[in-house]
């Protein structure tokens, strides 16, 4: 059975911490776990790469078959081994993320549109940037429930 991990970040400026949100679902689209973390990035691109690294590091402790989704096409292509126009700093983080792939039996990296990553975006906006502590949710937090219901409806429509 595959699990899908969506990752997104919220970026304000290079001198402010980024919020990282990640959401894990099963192959039917049902909530398994979610989390938030905080990091730094010199640009939104670098922040997105840092978010993918945090997500991969968290998931390697939980899973063996993973679909990793991001709404950043350049980063998805780079993680798939294709050329991309990312900055050298972003490539350093991409390579660190790829080094975590060895912990999975199977890992698939996909690009999704922004609306498909909205639940992770909501989480990233609510990361507690004041104390730099990661949070993991074993039940859906209230702030996600409406979006998760919409996502399940979309999943059912796509499977018909």
Topology of the domain covering 3-159 = Nucleotidyltransferase; domain 5 (3.30.420)
Q: What percent of the chain shows pLDDT beyond 70?
A: 95
- pLDDT tens track for 38-96: 998 899 999 999 999 999 999 988 778 999 999 999 999 999 999 999 999 999 999 99
What pLDDT shows up at residue 153? 60
Identify the CA nearest to 159 among candidates 35, 4, 29: 29
Specify the pTM. Answer: 0.88
pLDDT at 160 over 80: no
- pLDDT tens track for 110-129: 998 888 889 999 999 988 77
Report the first-to-last Cα separation within the chain, whole angstroms.
Answer: 20
CA–CA separation, 124 and 88 (whole Å): 24
Q: What DSSP string runs through 30-78?
A: -EEEEEEEEE--SSHHHHHHHHHHHHHHHHTTT-SEEEEEES-HHHHHH
What pLDDT shows up at residue 150? 81
Domain boundaries of the chain, sorted by first residue:
3-159
Q: What percent of the chain shows pLDDT beyond 90?
A: 66
In the predicted model, what is the mean pLDDT of residues 119-140? 87
Higher pLDDT, 27 or 156: 27
């Amino acid at each position: 059975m595959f699990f899908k991990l969506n990752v997104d970040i919220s970026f304000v400026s290079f001198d402010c911490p980024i919020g990282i949100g990640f959401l894990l679902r099963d192959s039917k689209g049902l909530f398994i776990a979610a989390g938030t973390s905080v990091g730094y990035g010199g640009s939104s691109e670098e922040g997105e790469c840092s978010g993918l690294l945090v997500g991969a590091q968290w998931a390697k402790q939980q899973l063996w078959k993973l679909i990793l989704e991001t709404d950043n096409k350049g980063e998805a292509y780079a993680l798939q081994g294709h050329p991309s126009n990312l900055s050298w700093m972003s490539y350093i983080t991409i390579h660190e993320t790829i080094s975590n792939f060895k912990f999975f039996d199977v890992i698939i990296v996909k690009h999704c549109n922004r609306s498909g990553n909205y639940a992770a975006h909501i989480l990233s906006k609510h990361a507690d940037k004041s104390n730099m502590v990661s949070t993991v949710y074993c039940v859906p937090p209230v702030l996600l429930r409406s979006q998760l219901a919409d996502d399940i409806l979309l999943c059912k429509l796509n499977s018909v």
